[in-house]
Chain A
Amino acid sequence: MALLRWKRPVHETVAGSSTFEDLALPLLPALYNVASWLTQNPTDAEDLVQETFLKALRGFDSFEPGSNFKAWIFRILRNTYLTSRSGLRARRTVSLEEELQETESGPGLYPEGAIDRLTPELDLIRLSNRAALESAMEQLPPPLLEVVLLCDVEEMKYKEIATVLDIPIGTVMSRLARARASLRKLLDAPQNKESQNRESRDKESRA
């Protein structure tokens, strides 16, 4: 399924370079992008990235050269986010972790019969509406949003995501499944409303 993969035009880190500058600066766009999604606020995102950089610099001696720098610095970003203002706020407003724990072993991706209504053609049209998808992603709770960002946007392997989020791979997989199912539901919701509106309008005009 890699044929549909969309590549970020990012410079790969030069193999063998080992200064913090060489490793961290190419990742700045990615770090800032994820920070902005999580905080939903430019000022908070800047603070978050800057703090991440400072922490990473201070702790760079503990980074083992040759190991996965991207996973390492994203893990710092994520931990910094959790203790940041917006991170704490997100955790306070909804007890997401609990909610996730309960439903993680829940039913499958689609309700029975849902698949047949969703033809790939219809789907493609719906997904081409980038604004709708962006707003659906905004509505995802942060624990679900972050797996989507790390997996799809950052193209990390499940193992790397597990390292960044400090959760088992099985949890990465179930969260991804839940995240994509939620995205799908959020994308379908306004569509359903529209078609309902249209139906009711039809009825009115006929009456």
Chain B
Amino acid sequence: MTAHLASTLLNALVDGELSVEQAAAAKLHLDECPSCTASALNLALLKNAAAKAGQRYTVPSQLEQRLRSLASSQTRQTPRAPVAASSTLLRTLSAAVAIGAMLLVVATGWIFTQRHAQTSELASVQQAALVTEVSDLHIATLAANQPPEVISSDRHTVKPWFQGKIPFSFNLPENLPGDTKLDGANLTYLHNRPVAQLLYSIGRHRVSVFVEQKPDPAQQNPPKAEHSGFHVVSFQTGDLEFTAVSDVDPARLSGLARALQQSQTPR
């Protein structure tokens, strides 16, 4: 049995402040320790009760009125007005820039259409949409700070978990590049279809690898892309498309992608 949880850790657990790794470790211990589970429950009840009891005082209407008129008069007298004006200016400017950028995009797109067949344009739009969508999903996973739906570094646990959840199957590599480890996986959705989201860490960088059925076998996605600081690496094997997203050095991300690609073709 692992060591009992420290009181600060129990509190952080109740406050939802544990990192994914800490939460997973804490869960492992709680699963086998009734005494720590009871204290966590006690803390949660106390927190809940304190949140209610702490809501005790209501603002006297007189004070509210006074402060309301104070705040609104100050807003009207505008110590903030120049700033507000400049922010309007800023907004107009950025709108102008945005329109400019949009025009540029449209112009580029137009030239692009002139040069290429319509299908390739459609493909690039789809690719851009995919890149945006996968990085959004990756960021959402990071932001949610939730443990993965299946927590395991064991590929023989993660792979069977997807049985019956997704309409395809894939292999997970046994030998990962150094410093890379499997954290778990989630079931998520891309283009309204269920996909597997594999969660890896390379050092302290988190990586999401989305595995989906190739929507159109003819369509070839460029192997590399970048979106707001995240690198996106994709490759296809058979009917499947793998898309890896991370902020890690692209070379190491490609290393993981290679390991995944190799494991799909049994030797």
Contacts and interface: CB of A to CB of B under 8 A. Distances in A.
Interface of A: 1-2, 4-6, 8, 18-21, 24-25, 28-29, 32-33, 36-37, 42, 45-46, 49-50, 53-54, 57, 60-61, 65, 108-110, 115-116, 118-120, 123-124, 127-128, 130, 133-134, 137, 148-149, 151-153, 155, 157-158, 173-174, 176-177, 180-181, 183-184
20 contacts: A4-B45, A5-B51, A8-B55, A18-B84, A20-B71, A25-B67, A29-B58, A32-B57, A32-B58, A50-B63, A61-B79, A65-B87, A109-B39, A118-B42, A120-B41, A151-B15, A152-B51, A176-B8, A176-B11, A180-B46
A27 to B, nearest CB: 11
Overall SS of chain B's interface: helix
B203 interface: no
Contacts, number: 159
A165 to B, nearest CB: 15
Contacts of A2: 16
B56 A60 contact: no
B57 A37 contact: yes
A19 B80 CA distance: 7
Interface residues of B, number: 50
B46 A36 contact: no
Interface centre among B43, B45, B67, B79 (most CB of A within 10 A): B67
A119 B45 CA distance: 12
Interface in B33-81: 35, 38-60, 63-64, 66-68, 70-72, 74-75, 79-80
Overall SS of chain A's interface: helix
Given A4-B44, A28-B59, A110-B39, A53 B71 contact: yes
Instruction: Across the A-B interface, give the 8 residue pairs with the lowest CB-CB distance, nearest first.
Output: A109-B7, A153-B54, A36-B57, A127-B49, A177-B7, A133-B53, A21-B71, A173-B8
Contacts of B63: 32, 46, 49-50
B157 to A, nearest CB: 25
Nearest to A106: B7
Contact of B50 (A42, A123, A152, A157): A152
B79 A50 contact: no
B47 A152 contact: yes
B102 interface: no
Contact of B56 (A36, A110, A155, A158): A36
A33 B43 CA distance: 23
Nearest to B58: A29
B6 interface: yes
Interface of B: 6-8, 10-17, 35, 38-60, 63-64, 66-68, 70-72, 74-75, 79-80, 83-84, 87
A75 B42 CA distance: 30
A115 B39 contact: yes
B52 A1 contact: no
A33 B49 contact: no
Contacts of B6: 108
Contacts of A46: 60, 63
B68 A25 contact: yes
B17 A158 contact: yes
Nearest to A58: B79
Contacts of B16: 1-2
B235 to A, nearest CB: 38
Nearest to B53: A133
